[in-house]
């Protein structure tokens, strides 16, 4: 059955919360810190304006959801001493928000603001790459991946990063998504050093993301400072990158134009996730288990990202029962 | 033999040195050995006007003076050569602690002076390490390893242990070699971790290029800066319980203030009038606006409208018109100090911001009229719908955000051109470009005069 990402009706939403939603589906990492978090709700589809809510236990959360059946439900990534006043900030999850509609180089034919299975898959690939860097490079372990309805959230709860400042989070994001050109200046006097000849550290990561971005470009792609001719040549010679022959690719593009392209790619990489979400210490994020009413999908904690398919694992029952 | 304490005031033997030399009654007494070391420092410039330090307290003052006057035109580094004589290490350590205590007690841990002492230590270590480069590579390597290992275990440290150091901003997370969170610092760990990946290249060179001595030096500097900052905080906390500060500390703090004022005078006095030209309202020169501002003024299509207009454009437009030279001075401004009647603000600054808001799609105030209040707030007039002088000071007049911050918050705005490479803030870009345009105009008009045969 083809799943249409269309808004849920009021009736469908009510049915979802009455029959399908279960407080036990709220992830443990939220339930375990329930009393420290601020909750926010959108009751009419106009944004989350019912904020500063708290729940002393899962039972009260359950009652609230069953009675209010909100259009959207959110909870803070921050832990507070007094969540009702958003005071006494203690720590915040480190979050990466990958929205399929905002992936910078989309290969599908979606209109602006829309998503399809192709761009959702692309978002999933990105999430997998993010997870790898978080684990392999940064050594983080408590990484939770959530399907948000129109993309993915990566929520990191390692104590060692939860007290980080906004500035440090900004640096972590830049590292994880390869959003900054590597600093290759050195005291050895090597002036022609390239990121792709360094097979470790951030350079390796940057090379990996740059390859991803370049391989996803198409004739319609728009990159700052990259003119039609350079884009055309990039597409023409990018087959070298499939075998990691960066030297050949650079040789064919030309060193000056290569630098121009790489700077543009670094800036494009910056839009892979919503950086504002990552550096905001007091953000609220969609509560996993609840309904994304604009697309009729269920925000879901992912147990196995390799096998997860939103169109199998995050579709509410009422969608299957729709007549049209 | 260069001692670790010459670089690291937190080394193991530093405590001993402080307990031997640091008795309060000795700090303001002439010290013969110190005088001898200074007199026998190779390359040291002498002269009456220099007032070379004779006591440990004076040495602390001189270090502060060295740091503040470094950027002035009249600065001569040979006057302070003794600071780089390794034999001074014992006195240097005591003067370091003296300085930290004086700023902690006299000005507090969050003061400008405390920040300056932290930066002073960084610059001092930087120059000392620079001179260490004259030593053989092996010596440097061993020296750095021993010195660093007195602060951290270089074979077993995780980047999360150094979070505070990274947050100080002396180096980026991107400069670290990380494996499963562990920081690869030493050559043997580098080879074990990445040796197999390196082909057709010399692993030693690869290590030196991507880490090695350079990285160790940066790391060492940053860790010492952090420890200095923390030490000042600790002293300040302890000082809260003190009934009366020691008169010597009090006197040192007063002298530091005088040195600061003198350095300020020198800095601005030596630059001529042009420095002050930007510290008053100047007409807009739209041609000199950086690409991000131009893009924002053309309107933001979707997403991020609020931040672009309120957080980014409002500070830029207001400072560019009223006080473009804000970054040349270390102070907080109020609009009324330069625009007493708020005429310029109401008739030029606000309309320009509102025009950009109107150009957004959809127009910003159409669905979010409350953003007008936020604009007033960023100009320093509190959270009010009307911009009134009575409300001024309820909030702060926001300074324009740096390019780094723009990239993070509003990456879509940043489309750098060649000139952007030279600057780190859009307002600096604007000032630089205006100066260049002025110079070019002068040049062109004088050329025209020549061409006309006059």
Two structure tokens written together for A72: 């959207």
ipTM confidence: 0.92
Q: Is A140 on the interface with B (CB under 8 A)?
A: yes
A128-140 burial code (b ≥16 CB/10 A, e <16): ebbbebbeebbbb
**A259-315: per-residue pLDDT in tens?**
999 999 999 999 899 988 999 999 999 999 999 999 999 999 999 998 999 999 999
Which residues on neighbouring strands pair with residue A41, listed in sequence order? A50, A73
Q: Give the total residue count for chain A.
A: 324
Q: B77: which DSSP letter?
A: G
Name chain A contacts of B303, Cβ cutoff 8 Å: 102
For A94, phi then psi, to 5°, come to -95, 125
Quote the pTM value. Answer: 0.83
Q: What CA–CA distance (Å, rounded) separates B279 from B323? A: 5
CA distances from B207 to A213, B126, B175, B201, B368 (A): 28, 21, 13, 11, 54
- pLDDT of B264 > 80? The answer is no
Whether A97 is a known active-site residue: answer: yes
**B99-141: per-residue pLDDT in tens?**
999 999 999 998 889 999 999 999 999 999 998 888 898 999 9
Q: How confident is residue B274, by pLDDT bands cut at 50, 70 and 90? A: very low
Give me the catalytic one of A28, A99, A183, A280: A99
Q: What CA–CA distance (Å, rounded) separates B280 from B267? A: 19
Q: What CA–CA distance (Å, rounded) separates B17 from B23? A: 11
Q: B147: which DSSP letter?
A: H
Q: Is A255 on the interface with B (CB under 8 A)?
A: no
> A188 and B415 in contact by Cβ < 8 A?
no
Q: Which residue of A has its CA nearest to B159?
A: A138
Q: Which residue of B has its CA nearest to A177?
A: B174
Q: Choose from A102-111, A255-264, B233-242, B257-266 the range with maximum mean pLDDT.
A: A255-264
Q: What whole-number percentage of chain B has pLDDT above 90?
A: 55
What distance, in Å, lies between the first and last C-alpha atoms of chain A? Answer: 11
Whether A99 is a known active-site residue: answer: yes
Q: What is the pLDDT of residue A53?
A: 96
Q: Is A275 on the interface with B (CB under 8 A)?
A: yes
Q: Which residue of B has its CA nearest to A46?
A: B367
């Amino acid at each position: 059955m083809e799943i249409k990402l269309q808004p849920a009706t009021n009736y469908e939403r009510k049915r979802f919360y009455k029959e399908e939603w279960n407080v036990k589906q709220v992830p443990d990492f939220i339930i375990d810190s329930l009393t420290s978090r601020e909750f926010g709700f959108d009751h009419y589809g106009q944004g989350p304006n019912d904020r500063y809510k708290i729940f002393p236990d899962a039972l009260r959360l359950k009652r609230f959801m069953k009675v209010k059946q909100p259009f959207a439900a959110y909870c803070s990534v921050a832990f507070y001493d007094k969540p009702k006043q958003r005071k006494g900030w203690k720590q915040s999850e480190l979050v990466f928000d990958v929205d399929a509609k905002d992936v910078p180089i989309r290969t599908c034919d979606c209109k602006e603001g829309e998503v399809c299975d192709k761009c959702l898959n692309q978002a999933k690939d990105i999430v997998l790459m993010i997870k790898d860097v978080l684990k392999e490079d940064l050594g983080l372990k408590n990484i939770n991946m959530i399907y948000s309805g129109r993309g993915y959230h990566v929520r990191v709860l390692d104590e060692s990063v939860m007290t980080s400042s906004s500035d440090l989070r900004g640096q972590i994001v830049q590292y994880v998504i390869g959003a900054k050109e590597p600093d290759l200046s050195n005291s050895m006097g090597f002036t022609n050093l390239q990121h792709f000849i360094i097979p470790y550290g951030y350079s390796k990561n940057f090379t990996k993301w740059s390859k991803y971005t370049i391989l996803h470009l198409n004739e319609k792609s728009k990159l700052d400072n990259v003119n039609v001719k350079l884009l055309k040549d990039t597409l023409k010679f990018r087959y070298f990158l499939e075998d990691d022959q960066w030297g050949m690719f650079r040789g064919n593009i030309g060193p000056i134009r290569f630098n121009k392209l790489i700077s543009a790619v670094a800036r494009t990489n910056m839009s892979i996730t919503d950086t504002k979400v990552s550096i905001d210490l007091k953000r609220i994020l969609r509560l996993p288990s609840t309904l994304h009413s604009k697309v009729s999908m269920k925000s879901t904690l992912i147990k196995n990202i390799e096998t997860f398919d939103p169109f199998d694992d995050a579709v509410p029952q009422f969608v299957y029962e729709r007549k049209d | 033999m260069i001692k670790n304490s010459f670089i690291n005031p937190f080394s193991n033997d530093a405590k001993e040195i402080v307990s031997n030399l640091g008795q309060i009654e000795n700090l303001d007494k002439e010290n013969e050995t110190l005088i001898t070391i200074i007199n026998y420092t190779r390359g040291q410039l002498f002269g009456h006007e220099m007032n070379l330090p004779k006591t440990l307290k004076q040495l602390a003052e001189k270090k502060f003076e060295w740091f503040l006057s470094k950027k002035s035109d009249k600065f001569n580094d040979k006057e302070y050569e003794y600071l780089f004589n390794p034999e001074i290490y014992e006195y240097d350590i005591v003067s370091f602690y003296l300085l930290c205590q004086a700023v902690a007690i006299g000005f507090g841990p969050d003061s400008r002076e405390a920040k300056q002492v932290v930066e002073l230590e960084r610059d001092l270590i930087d120059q000392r390490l620079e001179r260490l480069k004259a030593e053989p590579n092996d010596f440097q390597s061993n020296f750095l390893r021993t010195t660093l290992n007195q602060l951290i275990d270089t074979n077993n440290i995780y980047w999360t242990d150094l979070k505070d150091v990274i947050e100080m901003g002396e180096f980026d997370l991107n400069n670290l070699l990380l494996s499963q969170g562990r920081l690869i610092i030493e050559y043997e760990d580098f080879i074990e971790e990445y040796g197999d990946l390196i082909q057709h290249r010399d692993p030693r060179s690869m290590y030196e290029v991507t880490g090695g001595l350079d990285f160790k030096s940066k790391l060492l500097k940053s860790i010492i800066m952090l420890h200095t900052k923390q030490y000042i905080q600790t002293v300040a906390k302890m000082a809260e319980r003190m009934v009366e500060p020691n008169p010597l500390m009090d006197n040192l703090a007063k002298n530091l203030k005088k040195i600061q004022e003198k350095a300020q005078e020198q800095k601005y006095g030596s630059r001529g009038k042009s420095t002050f030209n930007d510290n008053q309202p100047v007409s807009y020169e739209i041609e000199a606006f950086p690409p991000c501002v131009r893009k924002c003024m053309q309107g933001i299509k979707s997403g991020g409208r609020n931040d672009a207009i309120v957080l980014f454009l409002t500070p830029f437009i207001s400072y560019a018109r009223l006080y473009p030279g804000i970054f040349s001075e270390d102070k907080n401004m109020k609009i009324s100090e330069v625009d007493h009647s708020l005429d310029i603000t109401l008739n030029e600054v606000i309309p320009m911001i509102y025009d950009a808001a109107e150009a957004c799609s959809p127009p910003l105030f159409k669905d979010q009229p409350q953003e007008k209040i936020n604009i007033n707030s960023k100009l320093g007039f509190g959270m009010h719908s009307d911009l009134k002088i009575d409300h001024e000071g309820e909030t702060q007049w926001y300074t324009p955000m740096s390019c780094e911050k723009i990239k993070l918050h509003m990456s879509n705005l940043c489309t750098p051109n060649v000139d952007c490479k030279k600057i780190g803030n859009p307002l600096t870009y604007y000032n630089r470009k205006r100066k260049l345009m002025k110079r070019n105009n002068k040049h062109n008009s004088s050329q025209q005069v020549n061409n006309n045969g006059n």
